[in-house]
Chains A and B, each alone.
Chain A
Amino acid sequence: MHISHDPWIWIAAILTLAIFSFLYKDNPFFKMAEHIFVGVATGYGFVYTWNNGIYPNLLRPLFVDHQILFVIPFILGLMYLSVVVPKFAYFIRWPFAFLLGVGSGLSIPLAFRASLVEQIKYTILPNPHGMSMGLFINALLILIGVVTVVLYFYFSTPHEGVMKPVTKVGIVFLMVGFGASFGYTIMARFSLLVGRFEFLLGNWLGVLPWLR
């Protein structure tokens, strides 16, 4: 056993154990670690956003490069703080209006091309250079799956008559998709758990020889 002498490893190990203590019940150690996480993550987000968002896209163009037009987004950005004064709180709608307007406008053609046309194209034309029987059956199954799943989410018509068996097939494909997502999510969480135990037993306590 070779316990680590690095104070940073000790901090990480104590915080890890504090979070794991929640498995017993909610306790002051967990709450303390939780609030440290909230504070540190907020601080990280602020410094990161300042260095990668606010300064290069707003402050440098305006105050260093003297691009006077950037005064518009700067003022729009300051309008967020109008919520502090209830009388002028409605000014917060202006930056939201800008973000929604530009965001919606830019997203319409992009969503149409990238998500709609391309997805439909690869569903109908999976391989233009020919394919084996197995690949053909798979492509046919994908086509049936996509059409039935889309129809399942079509609520303008009641799921009765012809629509009933069609949407039933859609549910089958959806359940397989959800099962796969669920399985991967669980395994991702377990890999994090394994990682934490590797850290505690290897990096901190030095019990695992390959992680000393």
Chain B
Amino acid sequence: MLQRKIPLAMVFVFGVISTLQYFVPHPLSQQYYDTMLKWMIGVGSMAIFLALVSFLRHHYVRLRKKEHAPYSAVAILSFLFMTLVGFIGGMGPGSVFQKMFYYVQAPLQATMFSLLSYYMASASYRAFRAKSFEATLLLITAFIVMFSVTTFGNYVPGVPKALEWIMAVPNMASKRGIAIGVSLGSIATSLKIILGVERNWLGG
């Protein structure tokens, strides 16, 4: 009862009411929508505690292993420091929290992602072999896109126009087709969840 039936009933009741409220032009319906949005953000945000428990438990276990201990200690200390400066000093302009974001988190994140350019370059060298018509098409399109966003590519006649056409016509058609497929899939999955056909989210 508590383990499966109540969660399934909750999904059904909240799902049906939330779907129907869209079609009911009444202040109560709007009030329900506003309240549910707040509740969803609130409940969804509380999941951060689950993430924190998982994070701290993972690194606490690793603290006992000699080879991982210094790194996990650094991860926990960095987390505690960032949390403390955030709650004590605030998040405003000029705060230590903001400086930590701009001079620690942002550079680390940007450098991590920029590293991928090396690996993508080497991977694409191996993958971009025009073995078939489709692979050739992908290769040519990627080349035009990459070339046209460089300074030099902008001055080659026809290249900016070609990029414009690729983005506005074939790329738009494929993205639109995918978007239609995704929305059909999401509607079908939502219905299956509400009606209790899809129950994988309940776990074992």
Contact = CB atoms under 8 A, between A and B. Distances in A.
Contacts of B180: 115-116, 119-120, 146, 150
A57 B10 contact: no
Nearest to B53: A84
B146 to A, nearest CB: 5
Interface string A135-158: 000100111111111101100000
A77 interface: yes
Given A146-B173, A196-B111, A102 B39 contact: yes
Nearest to A184: B145
A55 to B, nearest CB: 9
Interface residues of B, number: 121
A168 to B, nearest CB: 9
Contacts of A44: 82, 86, 97, 100-101, 105
Contacts of A52: 45
Given A39-B74, A43-B81, A175-B137, A49 B124 contact: no
Given A39-B78, A81-B49, A195 B174 contact: no
A189 B114 contact: yes
Interface string B42-53: 111111111111
Contacts, number: 394
22 contacts: A8-B99, A35-B72, A39-B75, A41-B109, A42-B52, A46-B52, A53-B42, A53-B45, A72-B39, A95-B43, A96-B7, A101-B14, A106-B33, A107-B186, A116-B187, A149-B178, A152-B177, A153-B177, A177-B175, A182-B138, A186-B120, A192-B113
Contacts of B135: 175
A175 B110 CA distance: 29
Given A102-B15, A186-B124, A189-B113, A141 B170 contact: yes
Contacts of A45: 48, 51
B166 A180 contact: yes
Nearest to A13: B107
Contacts of B99: 8
B82 A47 contact: yes
B169 A104 contact: no
A101 B141 contact: no
Interface string A12-47: 100110011011000000011111111111111111
B61 interface: no
A204 B168 CA distance: 41
A196 B115 CA distance: 10
Leading 5 A-B pairs by shortest Cβ distance: A145-B173, A105-B18, A43-B82, A149-B177, A39-B78
Interface in B17-35: 17-19, 21-23, 33, 35
A131 B97 CA distance: 54
B156 interface: no
B154 interface: no
Given A23-B118, A36-B104, A195-B110, 14 more contacts: A15-B104, A42-B79, A46-B48, A57-B41, A58-B38, A77-B42, A111-B183, A119-B180, A172-B137, A174-B178, A176-B138, A180-B166, A180-B167, A190-B117
